[in-house]
Amino acid sequence: MPTNPNMVAIQTVTVGSGGAASIDFTSIPQTYTDLQIVVSARNSSSAGIDMGMRFNGNTGTNYSYRSIYGSGASASSGSASSETLFTRAGYSAGSTYTASTFSNVSYYIPNYTGSNNKSVSIDGANEQNSTTAYAQLVAGLWAQTSAITSITLYVNSGNTADNFAQYSTATLYGVTSSAYGAKATGGIITSDANYFYHTFLASGTFTPTSNITADYLVVAGGGGGTMTNAGGGAGGLRCTVTATGGGGSLESALSLTASTAYTVTVGAGGAGGNFTTNGTSGSNSVFSSITSTGGGGAGKYGNPTGTAGLTGGSGGGGGFSESSGNTAAGGAGTANQGYAGGTANGGGSGGGGGAGAVGGNGTHSGYVGGAGGAGVATSISGSSVTYAGGGGAGSEQGNSANGGTGGGGNGAEVNGGVVTAGSAGTANTGGGGGGGTSTNSTGGYAGGSGVVIVRYAK
């Protein structure tokens, strides 16, 4: 079985010497959302025999199924409605099958405690080293509204002497949703042994069901790059789990009140600019009292001097001009959120600033664009992820720059008339957009949207 922190082994039954007429799970806990049973089975008959399934000891006519199955030589399908025919629940291998081989069957029973009819999905296969080894998929239904408290598996041959053979094994698992036991609603809810995580990829509402202390990551949308090569600045980054940009400030967790709806705003990335316009700055992201500032848009072309990048969470890179020594500054970053964009020098535009480092400066010789500033890694999601990298600058002479780690877009370039495309900032990282090229009218690339993650202890 694959490791799943939301799947708990409730009971394992292993058939002993002499075999067993049935495998029974009784007094099933009602604290899970779904059940799964994994079976390895062989029977005492000479043939492969269907396994039957009963819920709560019910032997009525309220069972039905539809199945598709194949033997390696032929394929077929079937359906029926009666308890005695609710048996396409995987085959158990017969005694004449290849020695020491067992059929393998998986049953999934969602919403087993609910007041609706109960569905079952079944996936089974047997191995007998032959062309007639069956594999099947089954959709079953128990038309009863009672919660499932017991499950019986049996060899359905009609002969009471046919039993499960020794070493047949079945394990019952209880499955919870990631939100089971969570202390708040909102976002995509996941969990591990220590924390619940609420990830917002779009705006929403976070509502605690009890008073909690919560860590957070709030990343704003990244700024757009420009056609005149400059990279966009990363969205501002504020976090309680790792040092953030713009001075390395580590923030304090928030105390949140039960039944209070906290608005979550996930900022959009800014659009790329053309020859005559700066890149658009990204939009702010907000959680409770925490606001992260959108990344600064990149500067545009100017003669004799390019236009400075815009200020933001991290600043946009400066736009290029015609002559060496004519510089355009990168936009300033916001304290404790991000760094400044790189400075343009003549034909080399600046890279966008990142949450962890300034954007690279452009170089007139060779029209080399500046790289995007690096982002910041945090483990607030349960694993280390880097966010808020600045956009790399493009180039007209084959010297584009990469975006900063953490979702920054790469700059485009023209080399011998051949255009190599750049890229937008990565969605939900707050990465700045890469710079385009004016020679072939490749517009600046958009910044990536932001993200908000909230975590609290179990």
Print the domain residue range for 425. Answer: 178-458
Which of 149, 175, 201 delimits the end of a domain? 175
- Is residue 381 in a domain? yes
Are residues 40 and 78 located together in one domain of the fold? Answer: yes
**Host H or E run for residue 247:** helix 245-248
Calpha distance 349→360 (Å, rounded): 9
pLDDT 10s digits, 14-23:
999 988 989 9
Calpha distance 445→419 (Å, rounded): 14
Q: Per-residue pLDDT for the chain (458 aa), expressed as one digit of tens each?
A: 444 557 889 999 999 998 898 999 999 999 888 999 999 888 777 666 678 889 999 887 788 888 887 877 788 887 877 665 454 444 555 566 677 778 888 999 999 999 999 999 988 887 666 656 778 888 889 999 999 999 999 887 566 667 888 899 999 999 877 677 789 999 999 888 899 999 999 999 999 999 999 999 999 999 999 998 999 999 999 999 986 666 556 899 999 999 999 999 999 999 999 988 999 999 999 999 999 999 999 999 999 999 999 999 999 999 999 888 899 999 999 999 999 999 999 999 999 999 999 999 999 988 999 999 999 999 999 999 999 999 999 998 888 899 999 999 999 998 888 889 999 999 999 999 999 998 877 889 999 999 999 999 99
Q: Are 307 and 318 in contact (CB under 8 A)?
A: yes
- Is residue 37 in a domain? yes
Are residues 217 and 161 located together in one domain of the fold? Answer: no
- Is residue 133 in a domain? yes
Are residues 190 and 232 located together in one domain of the fold? Answer: yes
Are residues 148 and 203 located together in one domain of the fold? Answer: no
- In angstroms, how far is the first alpha carbon of the chain from the final one? 25
Half-sphere exposure of 224 (CA within 13 A, CB side): 22
Calpha distance 378→204 (Å, rounded): 22
Which of 150, 175, 200 delimits the end of a domain? 175
- Is residue 2 in a domain? no
Q: Are 415 and 220 in contact (CB under 8 A)?
A: no
pLDDT of residue 87: 47
Q: Counting every residue, how long is the chain?
A: 458
Are residues 166 and 204 located together in one domain of the fold? Answer: no
Are residues 136 and 218 located together in one domain of the fold? Answer: no
Are residues 65 and 188 located together in one domain of the fold? Answer: no
pLDDT of residue 330: 97
Residue 195 identity = Y
- Is residue 1 in a domain? no
Which of 175, 200, 234 delimits the end of a domain? 175
pLDDT of residue 203: 97
Are residues 444 and 373 located together in one domain of the fold? Answer: yes
- Is residue 91 in a domain? yes
Are residues 208 and 304 located together in one domain of the fold? Answer: yes
118-125/285-287 β-pairing: unpaired
Are residues 27 and 131 located together in one domain of the fold? Answer: yes
Kindly state the tokens that stand for 160: 């009471």
Calpha distance 167→20 (Å, rounded): 10
Are residues 133 and 252 located together in one domain of the fold? Answer: no
Calpha distance 42→91 (Å, rounded): 8
- Is residue 237 in a domain? yes
Domain count, the chain: 2
- Is residue 441 in a domain? yes
Are residues 228 and 317 located together in one domain of the fold? Answer: yes
